[in-house]
Amino acid sequence: MNFDLLVRADPQAVAQEAAQRVAEIAQEAVGRRGRFRIALSGGETPGALYRLLVAEPYLSRMPWEASHLYWGDERHLPSGDPGRNDNQGIALLAEAAIPGVQIHPVPYVAGDPDAAARQYEAMLVDQRRPGEPLLDLILLGMGTDGHTASLFPGTPALLEQQRLVVPNRAVYEDRHPERITLTFPAMEAMEVAMFLVTGASKRSMLHRVLAPPEDLPFPVQRVQPASGRVLWLVDRAAIGS
Ligand code: 6PG
């Protein structure tokens, strides 16, 4: 697996580095394609990054009017439910001048997560222009079990080879188990994948996944954009140095 690894002192320094990189990737995308499309991640780690992006200097540096927000995964719950991933990003980024039509939460279809996944995929495909990556950037986290987005070890979503978005189900901590997730084929079509991993609880899994691939790689190891651009931003507690 090819990737760049950057180690920073603590979660705040990781968020700083991430904000800098997001702003650069956003400017690069707008320069090349006239817009910047980013998939946010759920979990707790990216909160510090979102807060930085809506504070100076990043607030002015980000091309907000040309930015389009998506989510790499979502808990299949009605809009506004506190268990959804998008609450955090939407609330924080409300400060940024992103036109509402450029914010694309994962839909909720009561009792039919497969329909919700298909709707999200259709929207992503519809918005992709010829020659573009599926999205310019996907932010990702890593669970202590090696999952990323809602691609959990041993679940059917890992086997998907065609669809870009599928439903999935997994119990992890106290989070809602019914999920919608982008798949490995979707990850392959990204321009950049950026992992944010902090804290000592992630150390043992981080060491396993950054080592040469095992026979049955963990989901995080299978995120391989065709562009080859994978970035891991981790703190010292996570890497153990
Ligand atoms: C989710 C996520 C998930 C998350 C990891 C890490 O829906 O929960 O998208 O993949 O990124 O579980 O979560 P933390 O950042 O909270 O450790």
What's the 32 CA to ligand 1 centre distance in angstroms?
A: 31
- Which protein residue has the closest C-alpha to ligand 1 atom 12? 143
pTM of the model: 0.97
Is the CB of 149 within 6 Å of ligand 1? yes
Per-residue model confidence (pLDDT) at position 214: 61
Q: Which atom of ligand 1 is nearest to the CA of 149?
A: 10
Q: Which atom of ligand 1 is nearest to the CA of 147?
A: 10
Is the CB of 43 within 6 Å of ligand 1? yes
**Alpha-carbon gap, residue 151 to 186, rounded angstroms:** 12
Name the token pair of 148. 């990323």
**Spans of the chain below 50 pLDDT:** none
Chain segment 117-149, per-residue pLDDT in tens? 999 999 999 999 999 999 999 999 999 999 999
Q: Which atom of ligand 1 is nearest to the CA of 202?
A: 17
H or E, element range at 89: helix 86-93
Q: List Cα–Cα distances, 195 to 5, 35, 38, 142, in angstroms.
A: 10, 22, 13, 7
Per-residue model confidence (pLDDT) at position 216: 67
